[in-house]
Amino acid sequence: MSVADITPALSVQGLTVSYGQKPAVFDVSAAFRPRAMTAIIGPNGAGKSTMLKAALGVVPRLSGEVRVFGQPLSEARARIAYVPQRASVDWDFPTNVRDVVLMGLYRKVGLLGRITGAHRRLADECLARVGIEGFAGRQIGQLSGGQQQRVFLARALAQEADLYLLDEPFAGVDAATERAIIEVLKGLKAEGKAVVAVHHDLSTVGAYFDDVLLLNVRRIAAGPVEAAFTAESLQATYGGRLAGAHIDQLGLRSA
């Protein structure tokens, strides 16, 4: 079976998103494979978060098409779980950890549906999968950054989605939390799910990801890490912001 025979978990065609005059994402086409982990890479302001939000339908598209497992977004929205960029969340919101995870179930339960013991057990199982089972009753504002990140990952797991979109899941977490998160993500991939993560640490791209999309408003390069994550494509993505010496340290082959 060739790659072309596999329906992408997510595909965007000619995606353009603009908040004002200048587009944040311009004419981007890309396909994301199921049973794979894809990194979205690019400098601050490159439109990475915007692209995930457009894939979720939470920001309007100026033009372009989004399909999820071959279906229009309106029919497949329930198959997507999303972990937002941590800085964008209101941590003073008075709610506890288990309730945040239970929010992941609202599509299954319905807004007015009753949360049952089985739902609570699922929430606690998801907290255990990310290694913070002891924190269920804690207010979310009283967690460390790494613990907050794990709670949002647990909420995404509770959704039992097929496509996971994560915005900088490793930002500001220590090495142990990073390992815990990557293990969970690799587990999702092994189950056949698609994982798409905005990622800033260029030194771990090769170890963590199968595919990469280099973005700077436009699509710069995309494909398997070995093919697309090159010194040239990084230079084209980051321009002068990434010193040649830094790229050299990554030990990439040159095209």
Ligand X SMILES: Nc1ncnc2c1ncn2[C@@H]1O[C@H](COP(=O)(O)OP(=O)(O)OP(=O)(O)O)[C@@H](O)[C@H]1O
Residues that bind ligand X (CB under 6 A): 19, 24, 42, 44-50, 85
Cβ neighbours around 13 below 10 Å, total: 14
Question: Do 196 and 38 form a contact (C-beta atoms < 8 A)?
Answer: yes
Tell me: does residue 11 bind Mg ion (CB under 5 A): no
Q: Which is nearer to ligand X, 83 or 158 (CB)?
A: 83
- Shortest distance, CB of residue 49 to ligand X, whole angstroms? 3
Tell me: does residue 49 bind Mg ion (CB under 5 A): yes
Cα distance between residue 185 and residue 170, in whole Å: 12
- Shortest distance, CB of residue 190 to ligand X, whole angstroms? 28
Q: Which is nearer to Mg ion, 85 or 235 (CB)?
A: 85
Pairing of strands 36-41, 211-216: parallel
Q: Which is nearer to ligand X, 9 or 215 (CB)?
A: 215
Q: Which is nearer to Mg ion, 11 or 49 (CB)?
A: 49
- Shortest distance, CB of residue 105 to Mg ion, whole angstroms? 26
Cβ neighbours around 138 below 10 Å, total: 15
Contact partner, 222, from Mg ion, ligand X, none, Cβ < 5-8 Å per class: none
DSSP-assigned states of every residue in 26-71: EEEEEEE-TTEEEEEE--TTSSHHHHHHHHHTSS--SEEEEEETTE
Residue by residue, what is the 3-state secondary structure of 142-191? HCCHHHHHHHHHHHHHHCCCCEEEEECCCCCCCHHHHHHHHHHHHHHHHC
Measured from each CB, the residue nearest to Mg ion is 49
Q: Which is nearer to ligand X, 78 or 87 (CB)?
A: 87
Q: Residue count at the site for Mg ion (CB under 5 A)? A: 3
Indicate the SS3 state at residue 72: strand
Residue 107 host element (H or E) = helix 106-109
Stretch of residues binding Mg ion (CB under 5 A), selected from 78-86, 125-133, 217-225, 229-237: 78-86
Contact partner, 19, from ligand X, Mg ion, none, Cβ < 5-8 Å per class: ligand X
Q: Enumerate binding residues for Mg ion (CB under 5 A).
A: 48-49, 85
